[in-house]
Structure 1
Amino acid sequence: MEKYMNSFAVHAGSFFDGFVPSGPVTVYVRGTRIVRVDRTGALPADGTQVIDLGPHACLIPGLIDTHVHLAFDAGPDPVTSLAATGDADLLAQMRAAALTALHAGITTIRDLGDRDYLSLTLVEEWAEHPERGPEILAAGPPLTTPRGHCHFLGGEVEDTKALRAAVRERHARGCAVIKIMASGGRMTPESVPPHASQYGLEDLRTVVDEAHRLGLPVAAHAHGIQAIRDALEAGVDSLEHVSFLTADGMNADPALMQAIVDSNTFASVMAGVEPSVPIDQARYEVIMNVYGTLQKMGAKVVIGSDAGVAPPKPHDVLPHGVVDLVRAGVAPVDALISATSLAARLCRVEGRKGRVTAGADADLLAVNGDPLKDPGALLDVLAVFRVGTRVR
């Protein structure tokens, strides 16, 4: 790992600032922040150290994954593995998972479900050395019903008083977001099925009202149509997965899709799979087409990969999600916006993350090629900078 602790400049042949592409660029960094962006690409004449990545390099903001699970190992049975792992070993596993993400250019993550607030331990560990991993925006154990989806993470809670108390506890501990399991899920056989709701509208409203009172956003795990509808009406900040599941399969209800478009709620879609791992390709293409349609309708679509939950979801899978959104018909620039500036807006780090501009954190990704023409270039990483330190 190379460190440039003082002042330096990064030069690349093309550029995407989080909103629009342009030609050659020279980005000046001092300490942990970007101090100037020269869109002419001129090299400094004052002796500033230059990291010249070459004419074929494209410099973009560090990527943001809006939905990961560092505590899950992306193995064939992550739940059993988690149960068999003590806290010390689990923290080591989480550090390794975070580093895997960072080396792929993912410099910010929302961890939407850990055990016993272990993600906050990493946040504290890295406070003085942020270059050791992505910035983590942690939810802690997700709120779930007794024996509900992911109950083994420690977030079982029911009734109005207890839900409000659970939100207050997460706020007091320093969580950046509240996660609630509005529907069941596949990882927890003893919960209701993924298409069925766990919490009703009033419970969801209770959580949203308390979280918003404390200044925290709410992310709702919502596979089923009723869960999506209720979470949307309750005013959650992001719908996680948005699978439109019914007992008979997927039913992407046009009226509900339009309601998402018309709302202030983000759709955090689970795009991206590791191509070398076999999956039900037909089913995946159906759901990706739904996500592509949502984006083209005008929904605020970001990519929450669900990294860690299964072998197709390693912790560096997010760039594949950008590629897959483009395959689903999303314009490359919009897919990149989804993983940078729009994701920063959802995560409430807008201005500091997800863009390359003076004053922003020096979280930068350089790739070989132009991802605006070929999103697969995101998989060919040349350099990664985390708050002004080169980590790859």
Structure 2
Amino acid sequence: MEKGDPPVVQRIIDAARVLTGTGRACSPGSVVVDGPSIAWVGDTGDLPANFSDPTIERLVLSDATVLPALIDAHVQLTPRRAVLAANPTACDALVRGGVATVRDFGAPGPAASGPGPRVLSSGTLLTGDRGHGRTHGEIATLDDVEYLIDENHRRGATWISVQVTGSLTDGGECSPYELHFTDDRLTAIVHAAHDRELPVAAHAHGSVGIRQAVEAGVDSIEHCTWLTSGGFELDPGLVRALAARGIPVCPTISHHSRHTGNRLPWRQRQAHLRRMAEAGVPLLPGTNADGHRIAHGRFADALAAWTELGLTPARILESATRQAAQALGVGHLTGTLEVGKHADLIAVRGNPTQCLDVLAAPVLVMTDGHLHDLAALADQSEDARIPVADVRQVSLL
């Protein structure tokens, strides 16, 4: 995969400001990259003498901000139609958009190593026998639970994905406000996953599904639209439970979310998410991009919608970097610029803590110490497809 430069042992990046993601800002700041990792970060004037060797490559970005690369907590790298057709998956758009880590709910299995986005695979979706995603991992018995989770684990999944309610986009027999599983069956799924040290992401639109997922002990809730047969109704008690238990919610907001009409009215959704944020529910940015209905590479446009939830750009950035990394189980690897962590970083012109729009056009993207050639990526058409082997599967160990 020719997407950037060959690896170098050391590189220094100087910038007008460096946002470490830990609450520290260095202006001007520098980051020293040694292979795949960060060797030093701080104020440029404090750069240690051992990094003054003139043979070390130095990149000077005098009008830019360096910050942790972004994390999209909900994508579908291979939509079902592509899985069935055995088509390859595109990842270059994610890199162009400054995204270095994704949690994938689309591809049927984990990806091989290579420069590109870090992929947290969920393997085969677990679903009921009449609902959304039933072409994937249909569960009818407890034996099915054990088999499918073991199979996902064997294939390298780092999350287990379970469809708790019907979907808004699929014509399954199970509606978005009806349950796929009994309480006991969902609890068995969660326990089986946790026994294998795998966290569980529950896809739940309906309020009954959100409640069931919370009570079963899942590790994140996807969509969380509070849908009932009578409309969209927020449950304050459930919001308090989500906050008290620290269960992250990924509401899957994309650049389309403000224009979905009556199917998912943005004004009502906005009010619900504001109340959840005010209550202390951890909210994770995730686009639900599948390369078809929702394009990959539009993460910055999706983050712009978050400003309408009453959140500051700085808080939104934290949600899309440090907080997302911690919630997804990779906080020890990425999400902040700290010594020893992987060199996943981007540079943008301007200050993203004042205006998130600058995130739409990174001038530098680095994943795992690999500096990507953005000009070459830009030459690829929007429909370019890159094999699944060109993304790297992460181990949580």
Q: TM-score range by the shorter chain?
A: 0.7 to 0.9
Once residues 383 and 361 of structure 1 are traced to their aligned partners in structure 2, the CA distance between those partners, rounded to angstroms, is 16
Structure 1 counterpart SS, 2:365: strand
Once residues 309 and 233 of structure 1 are traced to their aligned partners in structure 2, the CA distance between those partners, rounded to angstroms, is 33
- Determine if contact 1:271/1:288 at 8 Å carries over to the other structure: no
Match of 1:70 among 57, 77, 88: 77
Shift of 1:202: 1.3
Residues 349-372 of structure 1, C-alpha deviations (whole Å, 9 max, x = no match): 112111101001111111111111
Match of 1:32 among 17, 36, 54: 36
Matching of residues 146-225 of structure 1 within 5 Å: 146-152=129-135, 154-225=136-207
Structure 1 counterpart SS, 2:363: strand
Once residues 15 and 256 of structure 2 are traced to their aligned partners in structure 1, the CA distance between those partners, rounded to angstroms, is 28
- Determine if contact 2:163/2:202 at 8 Å carries over to the other structure: yes
Structure 1 counterpart SS, 2:82: helix
- Determine if contact 2:98/2:365 at 8 Å carries over to the other structure: yes
Structure 1 counterpart SS, 2:40: strand
- State the one-letter code of the partner of 1:8: R
- Determine if contact 1:7/1:29 at 8 Å carries over to the other structure: yes
Superposed CA RMSD in Å reads: 2.0
Determine the structure 2 residue equivalent to 1:377. 358
Note if 1:61 corresponds to 2:63.
no
Match of 1:359 among 329, 340, 354: 340
Shift of 1:338: 0.9
Structure 2 counterpart SS, 1:53: strand
Match of 1:301 among 254, 260, 283: 283
Determine the structure 2 residue equivalent to 1:76. none
Question: Unaligned 5+ residue runs, structure 1?
Answer: 73-78
Note if 1:17 corresponds to 2:20.
yes
Determine the structure 1 residue equivalent to 2:127. 144
Once residues 34 and 312 of structure 2 are traced to their aligned partners in structure 1, the CA distance between those partners, rounded to angstroms, is 34
Question: Unaligned 5+ residue runs, structure 2?
Answer: 375-397
Once residues 228 and 299 of structure 1 are traced to their aligned partners in structure 2, the CA distance between those partners, rounded to angstroms, is 13
Shift of 1:28: 0.1
Shift of 1:17: 1.5
Match of 2:265 among 275, 283, 290: 283
- Determine if contact 1:365/1:385 at 8 Å carries over to the other structure: yes
- Determine if contact 1:150/1:187 at 8 Å carries over to the other structure: no
Once residues 156 and 176 of structure 1 are traced to their aligned partners in structure 2, the CA distance between those partners, rounded to angstroms, is 20
Note if 1:51 corresponds to 2:59.
yes
- State the one-letter code of the partner of 2:270: M
Matching of residues 98-117 of structure 1 within 5 Å: 98-115=91-108, 117=109
Structure 2 counterpart SS, 1:150: coil
- Determine if contact 2:254/2:301 at 8 Å carries over to the other structure: yes
Once residues 168 and 364 of structure 1 are traced to their aligned partners in structure 2, the CA distance between those partners, rounded to angstroms, is 34
- Determine if contact 1:61/1:364 at 8 Å carries over to the other structure: yes
Determine the structure 2 residue equivalent to 1:75. none
- State the one-letter code of the partner of 2:13: V
Shift of 1:168: 1.5
- State the one-letter code of the partner of 1:14: R
Residues 235-262 of structure 1, C-alpha deviations (whole Å, 9 max, x = no match): 1000001111111221112111111111
Runs of 4+ in structure 1 over 6 Å off: none
Shift of 1:186: 2.3
Structure 1 counterpart SS, 2:127: coil
Once residues 304 and 191 of structure 1 are traced to their aligned partners in structure 2, the CA distance between those partners, rounded to angstroms, is 26
TM-score in terms of structure 2 length: 0.86
- Determine if contact 1:167/1:210 at 8 Å carries over to the other structure: yes
Once residues 255 and 261 of structure 2 are traced to their aligned partners in structure 1, the CA distance between those partners, rounded to angstroms, is 11
CA 13–4 in structure 1, closer or farther in 2 if over 3 Å, else same: farther
Count of aligned pairs between the two proteins = 364
Shift of 1:40: 4.2
Once residues 168 and 386 of structure 1 are traced to their aligned partners in structure 2, the CA distance between those partners, rounded to angstroms, is 30
Shift of 1:82: 3.3
